[in-house]
Amino acid sequence: MTPHSRPSWIAAPCAFALPLALVAACGAEPAEPAPRAAAARPAIDDPSRFGGTIELRGALEQAEQGSLLVMLRGVGQSAPLWAYFVDLRDPAAERSGLVRRDDGSRALHFTLDRTTTLIGAPLPHDVAFELAAVYDPDGDIDSKDGQLRASAPARRGDLAIRMELGTP
C-alpha cells in the first residue's frame, strides 16, 4: 500500500468491480455474469447518524501530511462498521470538515452516516458503539507507525461527540 491510499479493508470490494469495468470499457461482454453481490455494494437503509468534533492538539494542529480516519465500531472491536477518511495533503480538506480557527487551533467536524461512510456494513441493533479517531503521519492506516488514537462512546443520533487527538 502506498502512502495516502485508503486502507486495504476499504479497497477490497473494488477487486471485483475493476475487471468488469475493464471488460465493459473494451466493448466485450463478460463470458459469465458476475454475482450480484460482487458487482456493487448494497445500499444502506440505516438512518443512524453519528457526529461531533475531534480537537487536534499539539503537533497535529500544524500537520500537513498524513491522514485522519474516524471509525464507528462495536465496543472492544477493531473492525470498523462505518468509516470517514480525510487526507491532510488535500488542499481542500476543509470540504471534509477540517477547520482552522482564528486562534490557530484545528478541529475535524464530522457526520458519519450512510451517505458519508466509506464502507457499507449494516449496523447491528444490539451492540454498543464507539467512535475511534486515528491520525497516521504517513497516510498508511495499515502501517500503524507513529499513529495517534482516541475513542469515545457513541449512540445512534448523537451529533455532539467530542474527542481530543494529538500530542501533549
Which tens digit of pLDDT belongs to each residue from 89-140? 888 877 789 998 999 899 999 999 988 898 877 899 899 999 999 999 988 8
Domain holding 108, by residue range, is: 44-166
Distance between CA 67 and CA 140 in Å, rounded?
8
Strand partners, 154: 129
pLDDT-based confidence at residue 86 (cuts at 50, 70, 90): very high
pLDDT at 6: 52
Query: Which is higher by pLDDT, 35 or 108?
Result: 108
Rounded to an integer, what distance in angstroms lies between the CA atom of residue 135 and that of residue 60? 9
- Could you report the per-residue pLDDT of 40-56, keeping only the tens digit for each? 444 567 788 999 999 99
d(CA 60, CA 137) in angstroms, rounded, equals 9
**pTM of the predicted structure, to 2 decimals:** 0.70
| Pairing outcome for strands 106-113 and 49-57 | antiparallel
CB 88 within 8 A of CB 66: yes
Number of domains the chain contains:
1
CATH code: domain of residue 155 = 2.60.40.2990
